[in-house]
Amino acid sequence: MNQSGNKPKIVIALGGSILLPSLNAHAIHAYVPVMLEIAAKAQVYIVVGGGKIAREYIDVARSIGTDESTSDEIGIAVTRINASLLISALGDVAYPLVPTTYHEALSYGCSERIVVMGGIVPGQTTDAVSAVLAERVRASILVNATSIDGIYSADPNNPAYAKTAKRYDTITTAKLLEIVQQGSVRAGSNNIMDLVAVKMIDRCGMPLVVLDGRDPANVLSALQTGTFAGTVVSEDGTSPLPLIS
């Protein structure tokens, strides 16, 4: 396990659809106590997604003839606004600025405060950012809090697979790579995980947990007890959880 002082480093990818399903119904307040509790035992880095709001901006951009990489830049801007909102809600326990590079994230992490960031470069999603960041800070684990309760053998939301799709409790990284290999790379696309992210995880052997972030307590429970709704992904299919007490 990689440690900073006595604290493990944990990177949490918080989907925009989890944190801000809409501007009227957000989960920012619900996530603050969970993040504070985790941060008492670990050095926490959070990567916030853009969610539906980013996709709506990207749709408008496309409708006026904007190219894909510029549309991505618009998506990145939304992720950074979402990151700013979470920083604001966390208060002094969070570093006050949103890093725009991995170097900045590392540097802000030296404050031992929670670091919150969004996207970095076009052509990927914040899943990829979280995977690169996890490698860069030598995290003990990457947690991907999403709107589905783990990784399935096929898309359970597709009526053709609804009855046969099987949820994995644990899975190898190689198997996850196989599952996401067919995904789209268009701006705003919505797959279980970004292919770039899975390749990064595979490359550095980073343990990953994909879990249902619609209930913030699930994130805490995964890290504290190892009991949660989701899937553990690792090189050999074993679980490093629980990680904090």
Q: Which residues contact 126 (CB under 8 A, 6 or more apart)?
A: 13, 15, 16, 47, 48, 49, 50, 79, 118, 119
Residue 16 near ligand UTP by CB under 6 A: yes
Stretch that binds ligand UTP, among 29-37, 86-94, 105-113, 117-125 (CB under 6 A): 117-125
Side-chain-side CA neighbours of 112 within 13 Å: the count stands at 9
Shortest separation between residue 228's beta carbon and ligand UTP, angstroms: 18
**Residue found under tokens 């096929």:** 154
Of 142 and 224, CB closest to ligand UTP: 142
How many CB atoms are located within 10 Å of the residue 182 CB? 8
Looking at 11, 39, 105, 125, which residue binds ligand UTP (CB under 6 A)? 125
Interacting residues with ligand UTP between 179 and 198 (CB under 6 A): 187-188, 190
Stretch that binds ligand UTP, among 30-38, 69-77, 85-93, 223-231 (CB under 6 A): 69-77
Q: Which residues contact 160 (CB under 8 A, 6 or more apart)?
A: none
Of 35 and 224, CB closest to ligand UTP: 35
Looking at 8, 72, 99, 231, which residue binds ligand UTP (CB under 6 A)? 72
CB 123 within 8 A of CB 69: yes
CB 238 within 8 A of CB 170: yes
Number of residues that bind ligand UTP (CB under 6 A): 25
Stretch that binds ligand UTP, among 23-31, 121-129, 168-176, 214-222 (CB under 6 A): 121-129
Residue 144 near ligand UTP by CB under 6 A: no
Token pair of 160, please? 């053709």
Looking at 51, 99, 207, 230, which residue binds ligand UTP (CB under 6 A)? 51
Residue 119 near ligand UTP by CB under 6 A: yes
Residue 150 near ligand UTP by CB under 6 A: no
Of 17 and 224, CB closest to ligand UTP: 17
Residue 121 near ligand UTP by CB under 6 A: yes
Q: Determine the Cα–Cα distance for residues 33 and 20; give it in Å rounded to an integer.
A: 16
Give the DSSP per-residue string, 130-198: HHHHHHHTT-SEEEEEESSSS-BSS-TTSTTTTTT--B-SEEEHHHHHHHHTT---STT---SS-HHHH
Residue 234 near ligand UTP by CB under 6 A: no
Question: Which chain residues interact with ligand UTP by CB under 6 A?
Answer: 15-17, 49-51, 54-55, 58, 72, 75-76, 79, 119-126, 129, 187-188, 190
